[in-house]
Structure 1
Amino acid sequence: MRLLVMLAFTALWITTGLAQSPSTEPETKAASDETVPKETSERSLDFWMQKKLDYSTGILRGLSMGDFDQIEANANHMRLLNKVEGFARSRNPDYRNHVRTFERVTNEVIHQAKKKNIDGVTLAFHQLTTSCVRCHQSLREAE
């Protein structure tokens, strides 16, 4: 199972630019020095959270600047990271539900960015933030 997760993560990492820092300019950032994790399923919550926070900061930056390409690029990176993380941590049924919600609202951020609808992106980003808060709340309650 770990090998499958590691291979999936590596493929996504290489083909999608997940190794890049959050986009401030579409497709112009150089790859970071970060390496592919050896044990994806054992990565700490800090790794996943830091990447998601980086990408959400990129979305917020794009919102504040009206840069729809930046919004879309960061939301795409976040969506791919969420798929890998969801696969790696899919044993918890409640967590799977949160992953699906997160994916749905991330897709909406992307959709609204493609339409260049600042109000739509803002609403979808709010829903994305709410899904993060609810997921972490349920994880804390499960401890």
Structure 2
Amino acid sequence: MQIDKQNTLLVGGEQSPRRAVIGGMVGLGIVAMLCLGTFTRPQRVTAQEPTGEKPNDVAVFMRAKLGHSQHVMEGLALADYSLIARGAHDLALASQASSWQVLQTEDYARQSREFRRACESLRSAANDKNLDGAALAWMEVTLKCIQCHKYVRDEQAGN
């Protein structure tokens, strides 16, 4: 593996934009998983001190969303199109759940719609068995996650 003067990945002396895209997608996916985990702080409750509180619904929901994201990443790594499509479908469905609605603003609603459109692009690429298209769509989904998480943090810090 080599890098040419334009920082393009060379495989066997030839450029491999597919590998470069997939490599970038894997890195971005790792960042996304870390970002998705920012809202999932486990609560510590000991058996000796029952609190009567239920687990944080948002934390549980975000953990499930992270699982759907991991399915997409696994599908991309293995070129398993059904796994990619299932993960995209599950993420889009999750965005319609009541636990998703952490803010009641027009900006938040817009970001949720954009996220669902990105998930549909991912699902469509998987159904077309287009790995490069799915990788690019996954980067878009990931960026939508990061942008929305930043928006939520900023809104919560401002309140």
**TM-score bucket of the superposed structures, by smaller chain:** 0.5 to 0.7
In structure 1, what is the Cα distance between the partners aligned to 2:77 and 2:152? 31
The question of whether the paired residues in 2 share the 8 Å contact of 1:48 and 1:85 is answered with: no
**Amino acid corresponding to residue 120 of structure 1 in structure 2:** G
Greater per-residue strand proportion: 2
Query: What amino acid does structure 2 have at the position aligned with 1:54?
Result: G
Query: Which ranges of structure 1 fall in alignment gaps of 5 or more residues?
Result: 1-42
Given candidates 124, 136, 142, the residue that maps to 2:137 is: 124
Deviations 1:75-118 (A, max 9, x none): 11111111114774462222111101100000000000000000
Task: Name the CA shift for 1:57/1:96 in 2 (closer, same or farther; >3 Å).
Answer: same
TM superposition score normalised by structure 1: 0.65
Matched, 1:105 2:122: no
Q: Aligned residues: percent identity? A: 27
Deviation at 1:52, TM superposition (A): 1.1
The one-letter amino acid of 1:59's match is: V
Instruction: Report matched runs for 1:57-136 at 5 Å.
Output: 57-85=70-98, 88-89=101-102, 91-136=104-149
Aligned residues: 102
Report the counterpart of residue 53 of structure 2 in structure 1.
Answer: none
Larger Rg: 2
SS in 2 for 1:83: coil
Structure 1 equivalent of residue 62 of structure 2: 49
Distance in 1 (CA, whole Å) between partners of 2:94 and 2:83 is: 17
Question: Measured at CA, do residues 139 and 89 of structure 1 come closer, stay the same or move farther in structure 2, by a change above 3 Å?
Answer: closer
Which 4+ stretches in 1 moved above 2 angstroms? Answer: 85-90
Q: Does 2:158 match 1:142?
A: no
SS of alignment partner, residue 129 of structure 2: coil
User: Higher helix fraction: Structure 1 or Structure 2?
Assistant: 1
1:3-35 per-residue CA deviation (whole Å, 9 max, x = no partner) reads: xxxxxxxxxxxxxxxxxxxxxxxxxxxxxxxxx
- 1:17 matched to which residue of 2? none
Task: Report deviation, 1:51.
Answer: 1.2
Within 5 Å, which residues of 2 pair with 1:2-13?
none
**Whole-angstrom CA distance in 2 between matches of 1:132 and 1:88:** 14
Long gaps (5+) in structure 2? 1-55
* Deviation at residue 44 of structure 1 after TM alignment: 2.9
